[in-house]
Structure formats: structure tokens, C-alpha cells
A and B are shown apart, each in its own frame.
Chain A
Amino acid sequence: MSMLEIEGLNVWFGRDRDRVDAVKQASFNVGAGESFGLVGESGSGKSTILRAITGLAPTWSGRIAVGGMAIGRSRPKQFYKKVQMVFQDPYASLHPRHSVDAVLGETLHLHGFNDIDARVVKLLDDVGLGQKFRFRYPHQLSGGQRQRVAIARALAPEPELLLLDEPTSALDVSVQAEILNLLADLRQEHGLTYLMVSHDLSVVGHMCDRLAVMKDGEIVEIMDVAALRAMQATHPYSQHLLQASV
């Protein structure tokens, strides 16, 4: 069964002469429980695909289906219970005046949970932060701790599909290892499906089962990680990318 189906997706910004086509005719499937990577350089449109799925990039055409249900222009509240996203920069993705408790509490409230206190405690434990971080403000947290809070927020509605937009590119390598391990554990515990965007082939190679290589808004190749590890890319651009990152 496919968790996410994308068919002939076009995303553009602006119109007429100023129109920029960020994604052109992208198609791929992500199976339930799978971890799928989107790889490419800056401006290749990989993050734009995530933003189109979540509705943050409103001008798109083609077909996006989550759990077999096609998405229309506006997304029902139910959609956000299924699909959540973790942003790239943990320094920008937390409200500077909201404590960890407020961030998680509000998210849970919006999704209609009643036992908010117990759930906040559980979420913090799940992401390895623990109780003493509950009432802190973002400026009292390190980059890695902030990203854990952002992951806890994404997990709050108990989603099935998690979109990860370069979740570790703003972090130090030792912190990156912690976050990647956490994401791998969470995927196993909660049976999550991941769609992960990254410019770092080794991170995608570590986290994902399959990946798509993007260039100038188009998907040039879809391959599995075994082929990536064996350096068996077929498209010249993916070969070039592979060579540059070893």
C-alpha cells in the first residue's frame, strides 16, 4: 500500500513573465512504513515538494494522494493529523516567546486531545528531553534540543507520514548523529513513514530505503540505497553528485 502518491506534480511561483517553475512533472510513490529520500542541490525543488504536500506552496497541479486519498486545494483538519513536517532550521521553527510546554500544549489542543498534560510529558520523554525541559523557552535550548522539540511537535498529532526538510543540516555532526538515531528509533516505535529531503547523500544513504535525485525541478532518477552504496547511479547527474560527495 502506498502512503504517499505523487503524480505529475508541478509547482510554480509568480505568474506570467515572473513565473518560476520550481517542480516539473515529478512522480513517485512512498510505501507505508518506507523511508524515502529526496536529494538535490539548492534550488532543485526538493523542499518545494514538501511544501506543496503540506499546502504551504499553494500553486500546484497534478495529483497528490496521502493514504489513498487525493488532496484538494484546501486540506481538512484530518489531513494534518496524518501528515506532519519537521523544518530545517530549529532556530527559526520555534516561536521565540513560547515555552516548550506552550508549543506542545497548543498543538495538542488544536488536534482536540484532552489529556494534554500527560501527553506533553510523554512526548518529551519520547524525544529524549525529559521533564526538566518542559517550561524552558527556545533561547534556553541548544540547536539539537530545539530540533527535538520540533520533532515532538510533529509527533503530537500521532501522524503516519513525517516530512523531514533537511532536519540536521543546521546541526553539528555529533548532534546530527543523535537526531538521526532518534528519528530511526521513532520510525520503528511508531511505524512512521518518512519523506526526507537532504543535500547530503550519506545522510540519505543512512536513513532511507529509496531515494529520488532531483535537478532543476525534475526527478532525474529514482534508485534504492543499495544501488547508491554500490555507486550504481545511471543518470550522469546522479553519478556526478555521488562522486562529489564521497
Chain B
Amino acid sequence: MAEQTLRAWLLTDTPTSRRHAKLSALYQGWLAFRANTMAMIGLGILLALVLIAAAAPLLAPHDPYVQDLGNRLAPLGSEGHILGTDSLGRDILSRLIYGARITLYIVALVAMIAPIVGLLVGTVSGYVGGWVDIVLMRITDIFLAFPRLVLALAFVAALGAGIENAVIAISLTAWPPYARIARAETLTIRSSDYISAIKLQGAGGLRIITKHIWPLCVSSLIVRVTLDMAGIILAAAGLGFLGLGAQPPSPEWGAMISEGRRFILDHWWVATMPGLAIFTVSLAFNLLGDGLRDVLDPKAGE
């Protein structure tokens, strides 16, 4: 009964306060999202990943750094090592669990840097126009003209190998597409009547960009970032694989594949297990992105 009334309260057409209206809008978005089974699966996997990363010391059966050269390259299902051990006898499962922390760290940092830079550049460029637009967009073009991984390699080479530098390099190569999207959206929003209307209230450019244009750009950027996450994880893994990202003995998934590569014909699981982990998380982000697009995309909403 109480649940029924809560639901009715959330689904009302006549909210009674600001908070009520916000919660109601959120709940209706959640209902739309929940109806998408695949997106829910993606969300589930990612939540599991967060939990695993948070509880890594409790979940991992072994210390990910402890070597046991007597028990190296143990196969799947061997005693005490469900996913086997790597070339130095470290438990692969434990390394994967701890590796989730690194993956999340990379994802979170990139997701905080690239879209925000892109949003700033894109909306300012689109709204102000004129020579500001020309300068900002040509800079964007320059970044877009380089192959992404090559540019990241160049940055890492200049900044030095390491996970933070890898994140910076990936972010620097990832923002231009967001700037393009944000600019395109800004151009259509800028000429709409509701922007004209707020101009007639004497609102300045800063207020219009932050309060009126950003809320409309953010949703499509969130969708785009989620869909790009797979690529970002892969780029991070690629840098790790080339030895330019996380440094050994850190259990980064890409670096683990790189180590396992040497034994791939005789001991396939050493490279395959982290590969599967990357695959699963990338897929989860893609599924989530698809679902979010259905909920957030204002064009599909009407």
C-alpha cells in the first residue's frame, strides 16, 4: 500500500514542490530505462565491477603481487587458482580483481576530463561564433587530424610512461569529437525561441551557455561518452600492452595481455582471461550507452 502511494506520488502530473518535480522526472526516466533489458544488463555488470573494485581485498583469494615461481602457468581450474596463474605464478583471478580498480580509475579520470573540455570548447565556439569559433574549431581539427593512438603514444613518450600520463594522453585525444557534437547542438539551440526569450530578459552569454545550453548538450554527451568508454578502455589497454601505460607489476588488464602474449600458444588463458574482462566491461558500457540514449535524447523524447 505504501509502495503504491509512493509510486503514485512519483508519477503525478501535478508536482507540489521543486524537489517533487525533480524526483518525478528522475523516476520516469528510470522507468523508461528499466524497460530496456540490455541496458539493465550493462548497468548490472558495471555496478558489479564497482563493487568488485571496492571490495578487492576481501574478494581476491591471493595477493596479486606475490610470485610463486614453482607454480607458474598453472591451467584453469587448478587448485587454489580458478583462473590459473601467470608466468610468475601470480593468481590471475586476483590480478583481474585488482585490475578492475585501475580500469575504473582510468575510466573515471577520462570521463571527467575529455567531455568537460569538449563541452566548454564546443559551446563557447558555437555560441560566440565569429573568430573565436574559427580559432577553436581549427585547433579541434588539428587534434582530429592525428590518428588517436599515435597521438597518445607521442604524448606518453613526451610525458613518460605511467598510468596518469596515459590518462592525460587519452583525454587529450578524446575531447575533439565532444567539442564537435557540443558545437553542432549549440548552433541549433542558439537560434531557438527559448534562447531568444531569455535574451529578452537581459540574460548574458555566460548565463545562457551554462544554464540553458549546457543542460541540453550534456545528455547527448553522456550518451556519447558511455558509448566511447569501450574505446577508451581499449586505448588504455593498448597503451598498457605497448608498455606505455601502467607499469609492471601493476595488474592492469592491457599489460596482463601483453605479458601473456609470449605464452599464447601453449598457455592461452594467461592472455585470454584479461581479454575477456576488457570485452565484458566494454560491452557493458555500450549496452548502457544505448539505453541512456533512449532515455536522455531530447529528440527522441517528444
Assess A/B contact in the complex (Cβ within 8 A).
yes
Q: Which residues 3-19 of B have a CB within 8 angstroms of A? A: 13-18
Indicate if the CB atoms of B15 and A135 lie closer than 8 Å.
yes
Known: A135-B21, A136-B21. A92 touches B215 (CB 8 A): no
Q: Is the CB of A136 within 8 A of B14?
A: yes
Chain A positions within 8 Å of B194 at CB level: 92-96
Q: Assess the A110–B196 pair: CB atoms within 8 A.
A: no
Contact B200 A135 (CB under 8 A): no
Cα A136 to Cα B203 in complex, Å, equals: 23
Q: Is the CB of A136 within 8 A of B15?
A: yes
Does B57 make an interface contact (CB < 8 A)? no
287-302 of chain B: CB within 8 A of chain A:
298, 301-302
Known contacts A97-B215, A136-B15, A136-B21; decide if A107 and B201 are in contact (CB<8 Å). Answer: yes
Distance in angstroms from B215 CB to nearest chain A CB is 5
Which residue of chain B has its CB nearest to the CB of A86? B197
A216 CB–B CB distance under 8 Å = no
Cβ of A183 within 8 Å of any chain B Cβ, yes or no, is no
Q: Does A137 contact B (CB under 8 A)?
A: yes
B residues apposed to A, CB below 8 Å = 13-18, 20-21, 25, 192-194, 196-203, 211-212, 215-216, 298, 301-302
The residue that A111 contacts in the complex, of B17, B25, B202, B211, with Cβ under 8 A, is B202
Beta-carbon contacts under 8 Å, A57-112 to B: 77, 80, 83-85, 87-89, 92-99, 101, 106-107, 110-111
Residue A169 CB within 8 A of the other chain: no
**Cβ of A56 under 8 Å from chain B:** yes
Answer yes or no: A176 CB below 8 A from chain B CBs.
Answer: no
Known contacts A135-B18, A139-B302: A157-B201 contact under CB 8 Å: yes
Which single residue of chain B is at the shortest CB-CB distance from A112?
B202
Contacts of A136 in B (CB 8 A): 13-15, 21
Residue A225 lies at the interface, judged by CB distance under 8 Å to chain B = no
Given the interface pairs A92-B192, A97-B216, the reply to whether A135 lies near B17 with Cβ below 8 Å is: yes
Which residues does chain A contribute within 8 Å of B196, judged by CB atoms?
A: 56, 87, 93
Q: How far is the CA of A133 from the CA of B13 in the complex (A)?
A: 9
